[in-house]
Structure 1
Amino acid sequence: MFEPAPAQFFVRRPSYPWFVVGTVCIGTFIGQVDGSIVQLALPSLEDAFGAPLDAVSWVALGYMLAFASVLPVFARLAEIAGRKTLYLAGFALFGLWSALCGLAPTLPVLIGFRILQGMSGALLGANSVVILVAAAGPERRGKALGIMAAAQAVGLSIGPALGGVLLGTLGWRWIFWVTVPFAVLGTALGWLIVPRTKAFAGDPRFDAPGAILLVPALATLLLAISEAHAWGLSTPLIACAVGAPLLLGGFIWRESRAPAPLVNLSLFRSAAFSAGSVGVLVSYGMLYGMFFAMSFALVRGYHDQPLAAGLRLTIVPVALGLVAPNSGALSDKRPRLLMLVGMALCAASALAMARLLDGTPGSLTGVMVGLAAFGAGLGFYIAPNNNATMSAAPADKSGVAGGLLNLLRISGGAVGVAASSAVLAWGLETTTGMHERTAGAPEAALLAAVGDVLVLLAVFGALGGAMAIIRNDPKADARKAAAAPSGALKPS
C-alpha cells in the first residue's frame, strides 16, 4: 500500500520521535473525548428526535460495536499492507463522519454515521500504539506510553464538561462537530510526521471467515442485551439470543484453528490472563455504565443544566486519573489487595448512591462523593489489573496481549451501556408502565430505575473482585503459555 514519506523537516530533528508521539496522542485524545461526551448527550438526543431510550442508546452502542468488530480486522490488514495510510484514513474518515453526525436529520441516520465513525476510530486504534512504540524505541517506550495514557485521561475528563458547555449553548450537533478540527489537524500532521511502515507480517494470509463471524457475533450479543426488554419474547430476540452464542462459538472454533487468526486465543490458556481479561471487560463496563446512568439521573432526576451535569460526571475520570498512577506503581507488591480494595470501593459507592438518589439538592453532595469514590475505585483496579494481565503474557506476545486488551476495553464499554440501558428501561416500566422514553417520567421512578443500574454495576464490581481472587501466579502462567505452540500475533 502506498505510504507518503514524512517531511524531512521533522525527520532531521532530534525530537522527531516526540513529534510522532504527539501526533498519535491527538487521535487518542479525540477518541476519549468522543466516548465520554456522547453519554451526556443521550437525554438531549431523546428530546431532539422524540425517540425511545433503547433507540437512543444506539448512538453510543453503534460506535462501540463497530469499533470492536473491525479492530482485529484492521489490525491484521495493517500488519499485511502497512500502517500509515490506514492511520491517515482513520483520521480523515473520523472527521468526515463526525461532521455528518452533526448534520444528521433523523436518529437512524445519526446511528448509521456513528457506526461509520466507530469503524474509522478502529483504524486509529488498531495502529496508534504500534506506531508510537516503533517511533519511540525501547529507551523511550515507557515515557511515550505514559504520555499517551495522559492524553487518554485528559480526553476522558474533558468530555463531560465540554459536552455540558456545548449542549447548554450551541446544541447537540456541536458535540460531534467539536472533534472535526482535531481530525483535520491529525490528518495533516500524520501525513507530514508519521513514518512509513518498516515491519510487515511474515505471513500475509488474512482470516476472512473469522472476520465474517466476528461482526454478527458481537452485533447479535449487544442486540440481545440492549433490546431484550423492548422486544420481549419475540422472534428477533430469540434469533439474537440463539445466534450470539452460536456465532461466538463459531468464531472461537475458527480462531483456534486458523493458520493466521485475527485474535490469538492461546493467551487464554493462562488463568491469570483470562481472569484479567474479564476484569478489563467489567471495569470498563462499569465506567461507561456509570456515565450512561448518571447522565439521565442528573439531567432528568435532578434537572441539572447540561454544564452542571457534565462537571459532576467529570469527577469520575478525574478521580480515576489521580489514583491510577499511584496504584500502578504499587501493583507489583500487592496487586490482588489493590484490586479487591478498588472493586469493594466501586461496589460500595454504587450501592450508596442507589440509596442517596432522591432528586433533592441536599443529596447531591453525597452523590458527588460517591462518584469520586467510584472513580477512585476504578483507579485502584484498572492499572494493577492491566499490569497483572500483561505480566501473564509471554514477552514475545506482549503486542498481542495489548491488542486484546484494547478490544476488551471497547467491548466492555459496549456491554456496560447495553446492560445499563436495558435495566433502566426495565426499571421505568416496572414502576410507571412507561417503556419508551425517560422524558416525562416521574423523577422518583426515574431515579429508582437508575438505582437499579447502580446495583447492576455493583454486581459487576463483585465479579471484578472475584477475578482478582481466582487469578493464578502470572509468572507461572506466562511460562506455560511460552511453552505452548504459538499462533500468529494478533492484533497489535
Structure 2
Amino acid sequence: MQQTTGEKTVSRGWILFGAALATLMSSLDTSIVNIALPTIITDLHASFAQAQWVVLSYMLVVTSLIVGIGRLSDLFGKKRLYLIGLALFSLTSLFCGLSPTADWLIAMRALQGLGAAVLMALSFAIVSDAYHGMKAGHALGILTAMVAFGIALGPTLGGLLLSAFSWHAIFIINVPFGLLACGVIWVFLPGKTFQEQTWRFDWPGMIVLALTLGCYAFAMTEAEELGFTSPLVLGLLGGAVSGVLLFLWLERRVMSPLLPLQIFRNATLSISLLVSVLVYTVMMGVILIMPFFLSEGESYSSVLTGLLMSTGALITALLSTPVGLLANRFGARPIMAIGVALMVVGCLFMSTITIKAGIAGFTFRLAIINIGLALFQTPNNTAMMESALPSQRGLISGLLSLARTLGLTTGASFMGTIYASMVAIAAQTGVTHPQAVEAGTHGSFLVASALIGIAFLLTLLVLRIQRKPVTNKQDTALSQPTSTGKLSLDEQHTSI
C-alpha cells in the first residue's frame, strides 16, 4: 500500500532514530571499555596483553570488514543485513557481560566488532535512502553527532557504570537499546526498493581486503609500543602493501568486484576520502596528546583533564546538526573548506600553547579545532552520500567509515610517535618534565598543522573541480561500471 506524505515523514523519523541509536552504541563501545580494563584484569585474572586484545579485537574486526559489509548490503539488501548486525551486536554484548574468562571476552568482543562493523557501514546509507530526493544534511548531522557523543561519553559513562555496578554493566547496557533499535528498524525500514542484482559477491576480494586492512591496523597498533623499525611492524606493513597489490590485481579480473576501482576515477570521491583520513589522523593526535599536556604539563587532576577533553567532542556533537542545515542551504563543499581552514588555525594556535595557558587558553584552542571538525564532518558525509548512486550507498558509507577508522588508527601511532620523540629530545636538553611536555606538544602540532594544511589544499582542489560546468546529471554521480565493466562516456567528465 502506498504511504501518504505524513506516513513517510513519520517513517523517516523513526528510521533516523533507530540508526542514531545504533550509531551511538557502536561508537560508545570503541571507548567505553578502556576505563574498565584494570578491573577486568583483576576480576578475570587476565594479563595486560589479554586486556589489550579486549580493545584490539573489536577494532581490528571493524576496520577489516567495514568496506566488504557495505558492498554486501548493496547486493543483498540493507535492511536484512542491518537487522542481523543489530541482533549480533546486542547478543554479543550480553555474552561479553557474562564472560567467565578473558579469552571468552576477547572472542565475544571480536564478534561484537562484526556487529558494529555492520552498524557503522550501513547507518549513513539507510538514512540516505530514507531521505532520498530530499536535503539530508540535518539527518546525517544527527548521525555524525552520535559518533562524537559516543566518543565523548564513553569514558564518563563507563566510569559511572563501573562505580555503580561492575564492568559487566558496560556491555549489558547495550542489550535493551539494541533490541529497541532492532524493533524500530524492523517496523519502519522498507526492504530493498531498487532492482535486485544478479552479480556474485566477491568473497576472495573481501578476504584479501580484510587481511590487508587487519595487517595495517595491527601494525599501527604495535608501532605505538615497538616503534616503526620493529621487525614485526615492518613485516605487517609489508604484508599490507602486498595485500593491496593482490587486491588490485583481483579486482581488475572479477565480474562483480567488491570495490569497483572505477569509482576512484571520480576526483571528488577520491580526494574527499583522503582528506577524511588526514583530518581524523590529526584529531587522534589531539585526543592522544592533549591529556598528557593537561596532566603532566599543567598538573591537572584526571577528573579535570577528562572534563576538559570532553568539551571538544561535545562542541562537535552539538554543532553537527546545525551544520547539516547550513550545508543544505549553502552547499557542503564551501562549509567543508571553512571547517578545514579553522582546523589549520586551531592546530597552529595549539603549537604555541604554554604550560601557563590555563583552562581558558586550552579551551579556546580546542574549541577552534572542534568547531572546524564539525564544519567538516557533516558536510563531507552529506556530500558523499547524496552524490552516491542508490546501488552504491552501502559501499560509499563503508568507505566513509573506513576513512575515519584508518585516520584514527594511523593518528594514534604516527602522532604518538612524533610526540614521544619530541619529548625525549627536549628532555635531553636538561629542561624540566613539564617543559619537555610543552616542547613535545609544540612540535607535534606543527606536524599536525602541516597535515591539515595539505587537507585544506585538497579541499580547495575539490571546490575547483566542482566549479567546472557539467552537462549531465550523471556527471555528478559517483561512477559505476556499465554492463561491459567500463565507465560510460558521461562518467568520464568527472574522472581524473
Of 442, 453, 458, which residue of structure 2 is paired with 1:462? 453
1:241 aligns with 2:237: yes
Q: State the partner residue of 1:207.
A: 202
1:258 aligns with 2:254: yes
Moved more, 214-223 or 420-429: 420-429
1:287 aligns with 2:278: no
Q: State the partner residue of 1:474.
A: 466
1:119 aligns with 2:114: yes
Q: What is the CA-CA distance between 1:270 and the residue it aligns to?
A: 2.4
| Matches of 1:301 and 1:345, distance apart in 2 | 25
Of 303, 311, 319, which residue of structure 1 is paired with 2:307? 311
| Matches of 2:423 and 2:33, distance apart in 1 | 22
Moved more, 223-232 or 368-377: 223-232
User: 1:374/1:105 Cα in 2 relative to 1: closer, same or farther (>3 Å)?
Assistant: farther
Q: What is the CA-CA distance between 1:408 and the residue it aligns to?
A: 1.8
Equivalent residue pairs, number: 468
Q: State the partner residue of 1:415.
A: 410
**Normalized against structure 2, the TM-score is what?**
0.76
Q: Where do residues 91-102 of structure 1 align in structure 2 (5 Å cutoff)?
A: 91-101=86-96
Q: Where do residues 253-402 of structure 1 align in structure 2 (5 Å cutoff)?
A: 253-298=249-294, 307-324=303-320, 325-326=322-323, 329=326, 338-356=335-353, 358=355, 363-386=358-381, 389=384, 400-402=395-397
| Matches of 1:159 and 1:56, distance apart in 2 | 17
Q: Deviations 1:282-332 (Å, cap 9, x if unpaired)? A: 222333342233345445665655553333222222322455534862688
Whether contact under 8 Å (1:25, 1:151) holds in the other structure is yes
Q: Deviations 1:342-383 (Å, cap 9, x if unpaired)? A: 33432343344354363x7x6232112221111012123334
Whether contact under 8 Å (1:273, 1:393) holds in the other structure is no
Q: What is the CA-CA distance between 1:187 and the residue it aligns to?
A: 3.4
State the secondary structure of the residue aligned to 1:126. helix
Whether contact under 8 Å (2:122, 2:398) holds in the other structure is no
State the secondary structure of the residue aligned to 1:258. coil
Q: Deviations 1:136-186 (Å, cap 9, x if unpaired)? A: 564586665455445445445544543454466666665444434322332
State the secondary structure of the residue aligned to 1:356. coil
| Matches of 1:467 and 1:44, distance apart in 2 | 45
| Matches of 1:327 and 1:105, distance apart in 2 | 45
State the secondary structure of the residue aligned to 1:225. helix
Whether contact under 8 Å (1:327, 1:338) holds in the other structure is no
User: 1:70/1:202 Cα in 2 relative to 1: closer, same or farther (>3 Å)?
Assistant: same
Q: What is the CA-CA distance between 1:275 and the residue it aligns to?
A: 1.4
User: 1:125/1:326 Cα in 2 relative to 1: closer, same or farther (>3 Å)?
Assistant: closer
The code of the aligned residue for 2:206 comes to: A
Moved more, 362-371 or 392-401: 392-401
Whether contact under 8 Å (2:140, 2:378) holds in the other structure is no
User: 1:430/1:106 Cα in 2 relative to 1: closer, same or farther (>3 Å)?
Assistant: farther
User: 1:422/1:22 Cα in 2 relative to 1: closer, same or farther (>3 Å)?
Assistant: same
Whether contact under 8 Å (2:11, 2:189) holds in the other structure is no
1:28 aligns with 2:28: no
Q: What is the CA-CA distance between 1:88 and the residue it aligns to?
A: 2.6
Whether contact under 8 Å (1:255, 1:262) holds in the other structure is yes
Q: Where do residues 428-447 of structure 1 align in structure 2 (5 Å cutoff)?
A: none
User: 1:428/1:238 Cα in 2 relative to 1: closer, same or farther (>3 Å)?
Assistant: same
The code of the aligned residue for 1:274 comes to: S
Whether contact under 8 Å (1:213, 1:247) holds in the other structure is yes
User: 1:133/1:347 Cα in 2 relative to 1: closer, same or farther (>3 Å)?
Assistant: closer
| Matches of 1:442 and 1:172, distance apart in 2 | 35
Gap runs ≥5 in structure 2:
1-5, 488-496
Whether contact under 8 Å (1:273, 1:474) holds in the other structure is no
User: 1:418/1:138 Cα in 2 relative to 1: closer, same or farther (>3 Å)?
Assistant: same
| Matches of 2:382 and 2:303, distance apart in 1 | 35
| Matches of 2:76 and 2:389, distance apart in 1 | 26
User: 1:161/1:404 Cα in 2 relative to 1: closer, same or farther (>3 Å)?
Assistant: same
User: 1:229/1:330 Cα in 2 relative to 1: closer, same or farther (>3 Å)?
Assistant: closer
The code of the aligned residue for 1:463 comes to: I
Q: What is the CA-CA distance between 1:400 and the residue it aligns to?
A: 4.5
Whether contact under 8 Å (1:283, 1:382) holds in the other structure is no
The code of the aligned residue for 2:204 comes to: P
Whether contact under 8 Å (1:289, 1:416) holds in the other structure is yes
State the secondary structure of the residue aligned to 2:262. helix
State the secondary structure of the residue aligned to 1:89. helix
Q: What is the CA-CA distance between 1:213 and the residue it aligns to?
A: 1.0
State the secondary structure of the residue aligned to 2:209. helix
Q: What is the CA-CA distance between 1:205 and the residue it aligns to?
A: 0.2
User: 1:168/1:296 Cα in 2 relative to 1: closer, same or farther (>3 Å)?
Assistant: farther
Q: Deviations 1:84-140 (Å, cap 9, x if unpaired)? A: 443233223223433455566887765554433221111223333444444556458
Q: What is the CA-CA distance between 1:397 and the residue it aligns to?
A: 5.4
Q: What is the CA-CA distance between 1:339 and the residue it aligns to?
A: 4.4
Q: State the partner residue of 2:3.
A: none
